[in-house]
Amino acid sequence: PVKTRKLPNCHSRTTELGLWKNTGLCCCLLETVKRFMTLRVKSDKEYAAQLLSMTQQIEKQEAADYVSTVSKSWSQVIRQTEALGRVMRSHADDLNSGPLHRLAMLIRDKQQVKKSYQSLHQQLESYNHKVTRSDLEKLRASYRQLSRDANNAKEKYKEAVAKGREAERSRDRYDKATAKLHNLHNQYVLAVCGARIQQDEHQRHAAPALLDALQRMQEDMTLALKSILEEYCQISSLLTEDIVRVHQEISEAVQQIDPLAEYQHFIDAYRSPEMPEVNVEFDPSLLDETDNISANEILWNTLTADNLQSIKEERVSQSKLNQAFLPVALTVFIFFKLFLGLFHPSCVLLLSQKLSLLELRHTVQSLRGSEARLLSQKALLDAKMAVASPPPPPAPLALQYEDDTRSVGSTDKTREKSSRFDTLRSLAGMIRSPKAMLGSSSSVIPTSERPLAEQEWYHGAIPRTEAQELLRQQGDFLVRESHGKPGEYVLSVFSDDQRRHFIIQFADNQYRFEGTGFSTIPQLIEHHFSTKQVITKKSGVVLLNPVVKDKKWILNHEDVALGEMLGKGNFGEVYKGMLQRDKTPVAVKTCKEDLPPELKIRFLSEARILKQYDHPNIVKLIGVCTQRQPIYIVMELVPGGWSYRMACPQRCPDEVYKVMQRCWQYNPEDRPKFSELQRDLASIKKK
């Protein structure tokens, strides 16, 4: 039986540099052994002269800084080999197909172990750095910013109350700023809790277990090398008195190799001083500019209830997933370990399976750490959310809220959200017609050398909701410019009953998703469409059917020449322009690039409404320019100048015409709101 013992925590004592150096020396030593056996097969033919030449080459090898039992034994083998001046090539074929082949497998496995350990170590360290440092730094920066925003909103609210103007609006802003601060505070508390557990798991379990597993793998490989050398001794022995004596010396040298003692002195030689652990604690300086907030305490109130409930459900879902997967991983781990225990530990063929066992052990340990982190955060949430209904948020010091002048109950809020959602849904297919959906065809994708704006699957700066309405069946895709971030391009795809949106990454003058980069977006899309390569490995999305834009209402910015400015509106300026193709005078309404996405959607809704009408008394829509920012709506130019107003239509009541005139006020601030229009029209209808 192989000796086993519990290894000490060597994570803080063994330097990574020393570990790589020793691994490199071991690989170099194995390569030397491999060359030696290859030359041995050849030297059996060339007899003593080749043996002497071989030993001279080996002696020229540079001495290693760290002398191990393997290197000592190998030196003894070389010295005894010099006595084999007259070796016959009776076992050349056995040496080539036996020990030499196994040694090549050992070298390959040793290199794979080094590569896998590097990957696991880097993955472990980067994740630990992300959880304990990077994420906390980002949250601290956001915390300070939101603290300043909340204080500013508080001061403005005080000023508004003192002046008696816009107090309700200032109060809403203050509530929103406070809600953001409280929600971020909760995120930060949870992150600190998780980081503390992550650091403890990393220092006490994950990192030591990884290094312990690596050492055991190295010991197994040392034992495998010992087995190879033993087989080599048996095959090359010739039973003569002189040769038997030489091989006895070689065998004794090999037997001195002790896998369990191989790395004992190595740890002492490359020990590094123990680094003090950094305590993960709540930064008290974050509370200097805040009111009614305590360190390491969840804020459970009406402002944070929905967010905390969502976080709690997410933690519970993740915990259930871990609890479901952990027993499976443990069962596979135990079964795999028992299976490997049936074989002799020196079997080289099992080293790759032992590497898989190491990776599985790392997965189990990661699941345990994640489970501990999730349970601690859930316990923190449960302790604070024990009360069924959350209390109201704390009021600002020396400042009381005034009574509401109108209801802002849940019914009104729900109606407002529903109305906003219905407005967005109603804009679907704004400029596109249903016929824009085409099937998969090789002729639909134009040549990749054409500019992006000329590609039939490029829809310009259309809203996200409109893009989602155009995607209706598996594999439908289009490319659009992001509304929220002008200059960024997004691939929208319908896959597995979901509409997915992928930002096209641009770095080093290359466009890509996660694989090969291309100099232009058309080349990138053509590659994924023609090869059916997935967009990302995680999503598994494949491009099948390009959604072609409806060219009836689409114009390029180059098709319109802007002239003098006619006026300004809520969304941007209005210019007098001219169509380049036939010199037709037009009116061009522009949309400001810095408007929020919802306002840009409202801007385009005007084009959708005009598209439905064709009447002499209604301004005719000519087209829209959505290929890039700013967005244009091109309409019929009405003569008469900015002061022109349509006469009262026939049989139109005077009250209605007066409402129309109010809507035509030059200054947008003087125009009535939609709620006022509804009220006035309703009162006219009652008459």
589 annotated among ligand-binding-site residues: yes
Would you give the DSSP letter of residue 518?
A: B
Six token digits for residue 414: 């729900």
The CA distance from 570 to 603, in Å, is 9
Six token digits for residue 258: 């002790």
439 annotated among ligand-binding-site residues: no
674 annotated among ligand-binding-site residues: no
568 annotated among ligand-binding-site residues: yes
Question: What are the DSSP calls for 224-248, one per residue?
Answer: HHHHHHHHHHHHH----HHHHHHHH
Q: For helices 241-255 and 207-236, give the axis angle rounded to 10 degrees.
A: 170
- The residues with which 493 forms a beta bridge, in sequence order, are 477, 500
Q: Which residues contact 407 (CB under 8 A, 6 or more apart)?
A: none
574 annotated among ligand-binding-site residues: yes
The CA distance from 32 to 634, in Å, is 78
Contact indicator for 554, 455 with CB cutoff of 8 Å: no
Contact indicator for 674, 682 with CB cutoff of 8 Å: no
364 annotated among ligand-binding-site residues: no
The CA distance from 45 to 50, in Å, is 9
* Residue of 269, 328, 283 whose CA lies nearest to 137: 283
Per 3-state DSSP, what percentage of the chain is helix, strand, and coil (rounded to 5)? 55, 10, 35
Q: For helices 167-201 and 305-341, give the axis angle rounded to 10 degrees.
A: 20
The CA distance from 687 to 678, in Å, is 15
The CA distance from 29 to 70, in Å, is 9
The CA distance from 291 to 178, in Å, is 10
* Residue of 198, 224, 191 whose CA lies nearest to 103: 224
Contact indicator for 80, 229 with CB cutoff of 8 Å: no
Q: Are strands 545-546 and 476-481 parallel, antiparallel or unpaired?
A: parallel
CA 325 to chain CA centroid, nearest Å = 22
The CA distance from 482 to 491, in Å, is 10
* Residue of 170, 126, 122, 130 whose CA lies nearest to 150: 170
Alpha helices in 47-134 (DSSP H): 48-59, 69-81, 92-97, 99-129
Strands (E), 532-644: 545-546, 560-568, 573-579, 585-590, 621-625, 632-636
Which residues are annotated binding-site positions for ATP? Answer: 566-574, 589
Residues annotated in the binding site, as ranges? 566-574, 589
